[in-house]
Amino acid sequence: MSLTTWPASFEATLRRYLAALAPDQDIPAEPLVDLGLDSLRATALLAALEQEFGVDFGDEVLDPALFSSAGHMWDVVQELMDDPVSRAPQ
């Protein structure tokens, strides 16, 4: 069970790209690559999160740490939502 709280829309989006995660399984606090996230899925996930939350993943956050866990990814999304510079153009 995750110690981080995130909205259902984040979890639903994330689950679509975690191939090794059973539908009824809690998202564990482990690297997303261990849950089936490969480079192709990661690219699609980031695009989906950008669209869902109106953010832009700039080069400064695109590093392996972004994919260290679902909780860390949600923390980054929240930071981007709070930063007017990182908001995607409407």
pLDDT tens per residue across span 70-81: 999 999 999 999
Percent of the chain at pLDDT > 70 equals 90
pLDDT in tens, 30-63: 999 999 999 999 999 999 999 999 999 988 889 9
CATH classification at residue 65: 1.10.1200.10
Contact 65, 72 (CB under 8 A): yes
Q: How many CA atoms does the CB half-sphere of 69 hold within 13 Å? A: 14
Q: Is residue 3 part of a domain?
A: no
Q: Which structural domain, as residue segments, surrounds residue 40?
A: 10-21+30-82
Instruction: Kindly report the average pLDDT of the chain as a whole number.
Output: 90
> How far is it, in rounded angstroms, from Cα 58 to Cα 36?
23
Q: What is the pLDDT of residue 30?
A: 94
Q: Helix or strand or coil: residue 55? A: strand
Total domains present in the chain: 1
| Pairwise CA distance, residues 23 & 57, whole Å | 27
Is residue 2's pLDDT more than 50?
no
